[in-house]
Chain A
Amino acid sequence: MTDDRDKTGGQGEGPGEPPAPLEPFPTHLPESPFPPLYESLPPPQEAPPDPPSDWIESADAHDLPTRENTLVALGRFAFPPAPPLDDEGVAARDRRWTSRTIVTATVFLIVFNAVSPLNWARQQPPGWLPQTVERLSEVWTEQLAVFGVDMPRRGLRESWDAAREARFIGQGPAQRTGSTSPSD
């Protein structure tokens, strides 16, 4: 294989010189990645005229066949995408999102703040509802305590109590004036 620019065909520069070895040494230049110089370009040819237009007025570009993964196509067939939402749809979607947020927060608190209904029930005057809530809450709180889900609240409370008990240097003990500690 010879380079186009090696006009001697690998036979050396002059008649008295030894021929350049071709193989196995890569003495020739690799093929240039760049296009040849302008002068060496063939003269531009006239482009053939455009074929008559095959434009179909009623066609939509989105209708043109495109290559699609078979599974995706199957999925699209089985679960066709919903049409874009109108204002009402957007509002309904946002409402659902808000409701899910509220429900998640509520469930989180029912689990991690289970002592709250118990405290509430104990603060109420005696009656059917407070007693029922108290019994249910006691069972619920005890069951959850087995899994240690009351630990975050307890830990926070202890840290807060420690901060509350802290005093300036040389200051006497606290003067407690009000009920400040929830019964958990």
Chain B
Amino acid sequence: MLFPTLAFGVFFLFVYFTAWSLDRENGRRKVFLLLASWFFYAQWDWRFVGLLILSAVLNWGVAALIAGRPGRRNGWLVGLGVAANLLILGFFKYYGFFVEQAGELLARFGWERDLPLLQVILPVGISFFTFQGISYLVDVHRGKTPPAKSLLDVMLLMSFFPHLVAGPIVRASDLLPQFERAPRLTRVMATHGLLLIVWGLFKKTVVASELSVNLVDPVFFDPSAHSAFDIAAAVYGYAVQIYCDFSAYSDMAIGLAALLGYSFPRNFDQPYRAASMQQFWRRWHISLSSWLRDYLYVPLGGGRKGLFASCINVFITMVLGGLWHGAALTFLAWGALHGGVQVIERLGRAAFGDRKVLPTVVGVLVTFHIVCLGWILFRAESFELALAMLEGLGRIGPVEVLTPLLLTLIVGGLAMHWLPPRAVEGMAERLQAAPSVSLGLLIGAAVLLVEAVRPEGVAPFIYFQF
């Protein structure tokens, strides 16, 4: 059940009205939201609801054990809990990849073996709820968040349907305190939520879908059949598509949660405005980059052990971040590219200090094109295809796939980054004073516009596969 579908719309209307009718009794409301979330998740594969429950029980139990032993050495307990989470993630996501790589390695040394290859189905959103579980355990251990008061809260934290399948990664310290009391809905919150949902619908179903179906997919499928103009347009188009796709999901998730009275953190902040790779990661998938910083980069040593160590740590963090996106060498290369550029930036800062070496415009352009280079690796199904895309950038020929509409969508998708940084919030502030009927008609008209021009059917969100 995807967000921009009629089925989800009906589901959400039911959840919205039922949840608010239960708001006098917070416990029952949470039970209802949990059941609704499981129903939502079961639409992909009901068997994985059990995995979700198992993961929640595991994290709740370990956190309770940690909290029950204050002042004692609990590092091994945390390690055990984190390892269990990673085991679940590793089995479902990386088993096939590592067995395949191990088989190839053994074959090179002449030790060919029939390794047990399993067709493991990847549960949707497993990376997101696993990371959430890990952050909960570590935060309880560090004393950053108290343990949840009930198993119900942990289950709802990990299963809450707005963020369940593609984030943002909402940490326990953000959401558990909100679960402890009955939520309140304010006009600003509701208006903001509604606008985010409509804005997300537009970005996903109009911009991302149109670019995907008519430009990116055909060019990436066979780069050798296209000219440099079309390939360059496809690369820029993919940059816009992945931003509009993923940020749309985050926007809708934040908006849906807001309508239910819960506040999620911001996940995107006009990433293509970044003038350096470090800035890019402060603006792109913020919940993941801050997760990697707090639970990987800092435990590795962060920047405490000098420049060289910090460069190695940031490189390892980005490579593992790449691997988190998928079990493929192209993702590893993507992570290495981002890590490598950040290392160069750090060395540059060490050499030149805080002096501005490049004008901001040049920094933005250079960063954007490095990110686009990374997107080629990210999107291509193999290194061969990625190389074919790069080779095609030198092939002069007629423009065949790019059309004025697609060009407008690319330019529009990039221009979104130069809107006022909090444009939706500002609009929500103004519209909150409007009569409900006027706002309802406005929202209805905006959805009608999106519905009228969207392609038939909805492709799954790109980040569902992660």
Contacts and interface: CB of A to CB of B under 8 A. Distances in A.
Nearest to B20: A95
User: Which size bracket describes the interface of B in this complex?
Assistant: 35 or more
Given A94-B190, A112-B444, A113-B447, A179 B455 contact: yes
Contact of A101 (B23, B194, B399, B400): B194
Nearest to A159: B453
B354 interface: no
A66 interface: no
A72 interface: no
Interface in A133-184: 152-153, 156-157, 160, 163-164, 166-168, 171-172, 174-183
Interface string B443-462: 11101110111111100000
Contact of A97 (B17, B187, B213, B403): B187
A104 B405 contact: no
B214 interface: yes
B419 interface: no
Given A102-B16, A163-B405, A171-B399, A156 B449 contact: yes
Interface stretch (B335-343, B345-353, B433-441): B433-441
- From DSSP, what is the main secondary structure of chain A's interface residues? helix
B184 interface: yes
Contacts of B443: 101, 104-105
A117 interface: yes
A157 B437 contact: no
Interface string A72-105: 0000000000000001000100110111111111
A98 B185 contact: yes
B218 interface: yes
B6 interface: yes
Nearest to B445: A108
Contacts of B74: none
B456 A180 contact: yes
A167 B404 CA distance: 6
Interface string B52-72: 000000000000000000000
B13 interface: yes
A87 B181 CA distance: 14
B13 A102 contact: yes
Identify whether the interface residues of B are mostly helix, strand, loop, or mixed.
Answer: helix
A116 interface: yes
Contact of A177 (B13, B17, B217, B259): B217
A96 B447 CA distance: 21
B401 interface: yes
Contacts of A182: 454-456
A91 B440 contact: no
Nearest to B446: A105
B403 A91 contact: no
Nearest to B212: A178
A178 B454 CA distance: 13
Pairs of residues from A and B, 9 with the lowest C-beta to C-beta distance, nearest first: A104-B440, A108-B444, A156-B452, A178-B213, A100-B436, A98-B190, A105-B444, A160-B453, A105-B443
19 contacts: A94-B186, A97-B436, A99-B17, A103-B440, A104-B441, A104-B443, A105-B443, A108-B448, A109-B447, A120-B5, A167-B403, A171-B400, A172-B398, A178-B217, A179-B456, A181-B456, A182-B454, A182-B455, A183-B456
